[in-house]
Amino acid sequence: MFNYIIVGAGLAGCVMAERIVTVLDEKVLLIEKRNHVGGNCYDYYDKNGILVHKYGPHIFHTNLENVWTYLSQFTDWYNYQHHVLGFIDGEKVPIPFNLNTLHELLPENLAGSLEDKLIKKFGFNTKIPILKLKKSEDEDLKFLADFIYEKVFLNYTKKQWGVKPEELDPSVTERVPIYISKDNRYFQDKYQGLPLHGYHQMFQKMLENPNIKIMLNTNFKELIKVENNEIYFENKKFQGKLIFTGQIDELFNYEYGELPYRSLKFKSETLNKEYFQETGTVNYPNNYNYTRITEFKHLTGQKHEKTSIIREYPKPYNKNKDIPYYPIPKKEYNQLYKKYLEKASKINNLSLVGRLAEYKYYNMDIVTNEALSKFKRVTNER
């Protein structure tokens, strides 16, 4: 009955479903274990009527014009530019660390001379990863790198990942490089914003086609199994294509062992005041057990007499009770992932898409782009 089955109704699964029904005019079965579509991007109006993101703040940003154009078919955008402050030495200063942060945290003479050195060495408007700056031979730049490392990166990363920055792939801290600029925005991408009426409405629009059958509250294990490189659906050999966006280790019953993930606990609160903090997010690298507090009204532009905030408490992942929010970018885990990938490559009607199935620390735009290109590959194969 279905030529396509998709596991997971997150961004990856929704893009694939939309493309298959719109372009190929085929029927799709979309299986999702949560009670809603949208995966970790899901948002909803809380009991006070404030639009909040259930699984932490999601800010859309991209330089990929094709991704922006594609998603814009399903939503208009609230023009939002994300600003983050870091609570450091009792002050709230711009993050990523930039020239303004430098002047706010260090005495003026020292900050001035360090600014000159940074511009001379790297140029104005450039971005330098902290682990690269730490390798500076110049004594003053080395001092600055150690200062930023201690104040911004070390404790935040230990809280978030349970290890020091050097123990992870450098791409993790490269996401928030030192910015030799006075631009206080968190992202500089060409396209930035939040879906005007929320992510959930965008997903509903993507899926509003009668050829998509959605099964919520359903673990794929109830319907699908993989045996001897064949896929079985309701105990019959499945001849169509399975697009899998869940955890690859789960698909193969943890045959080579569990892939590690980091999880989070979220604590939400609604306050009886119009605003709680100055910006969308405030990071707390060195204080408290949480990493950051986000206030949604800054992100969405919603006007309301009350305000809702969310705190993120990182924690180890336990497969029986936690959501695997982050794959852990580390060489040895990538090697384990590759073993699963090799196994998957032997199943010719299986396609893996998304943050979990590809075990990559992807942002939303990259997941969308991956799904769009995988869709093209699926089409060409037919």
Residues from 89 through 128 that contact ligand UDP (CB under 6 A): 95
Residue 12 interaction partner, one of ligand FAD, ligand UDP, none, beta carbon < 5-8 Å per kind: ligand FAD
Residue 58 interaction partner, one of ligand FAD, ligand UDP, none, beta carbon < 5-8 Å per kind: ligand FAD
Count of helices and strands (H, E) across the chain: 13, 22
Is position 153 an interface residue for ligand UDP (rule: CB under 6 A)? yes
- What's CA 272's distance to the chain center, in Å? 30
Instruction: Give the one residue of 120, 135, 164, 175 binding ligand UDP; rule: CB under 6 A.
Output: 175
- Least CB distance to ligand FAD at residue 137 (A): 35
DSSP state of 144: H
Residue 285 interaction partner, one of ligand FAD, ligand UDP, none, beta carbon < 5-8 Å per kind: ligand UDP
Rounded Cα gap, residues 249 and 358, in angstroms = 11
Instruction: Give the one residue of 157, 173, 192, 245 binding ligand FAD; rule: CB under 6 A.
Output: 245
Instruction: Give the one residue of 39, 86, 193, 195 binding ligand UDP; rule: CB under 6 A.
Output: 86
Rounded Cα gap, residues 345 and 186, in angstroms = 38
Please spell the DSSP secondary structure of 242-306, one letter per residue.
EEE-S-HHHHTTTTT-PPPEEEEEEEEEEESSS-SSSSSEEE-SSSSS-SEEEEHHHHH----SS
Read off the tokens for 350.
């299986």
- Least CB distance to ligand FAD at residue 244 (A): 9
Nearer to ligand FAD, 177 or 246 (CB): 246
Residues 92 and 83: beta-carbon distance below 8 Å: no
- Least CB distance to ligand FAD at residue 198 (A): 14
Among the candidate windows 20-28, 53-61, 67-75, 197-205, which touches ligand FAD by CB under 6 A? 53-61
Evaluated on CA atoms 282, 286, 291, 293, the torsion sign reads negative
Residues 8 and 246: beta-carbon distance below 8 Å: yes
Nearer to ligand FAD, 79 or 113 (CB): 79
Among the candidate windows 5-13, 152-160, 217-225, 333-341, which touches ligand UDP by CB under 6 A? 152-160
């349970």: which residue's tokens? 162
Q: What is the largest CA-CA distance in the chain?
A: 74
Residues 364 and 356: beta-carbon distance below 8 Å: no
Instruction: Give the one residue of 40, 62, 98, 173 binding ligand UDP; rule: CB under 6 A.
Output: 173
Binding mask 315-354 for ligand FAD (x = CB under 6 A): ----------x----------------------------x
How many residues line the site for ligand FAD (CB under 6 A)?
Answer: 36
Residue 94 interaction partner, one of ligand FAD, ligand UDP, none, beta carbon < 5-8 Å per kind: none
* H or E segment and range at residue 101: helix 99-105
Nearer to ligand UDP, 28 or 52 (CB): 52
Is position 219 an interface residue for ligand FAD (rule: CB under 6 A)? yes
* H or E segment and range at residue 31: strand 28-31
Write the burial class of residue 217 (CB in 10 Å: 0-12 exposed, 13-18 middle, 19+ buried): exposed
Residues interacting with ligand UDP, by CB under 6 A?
86, 95, 152-153, 156-157, 160, 172-173, 175-176, 283, 285
Residues that bind ligand FAD (CB under 6 A): 7-13, 31-34, 39-41, 55-60, 219-220, 245-247, 250, 264, 325, 354-356, 362-365, 367
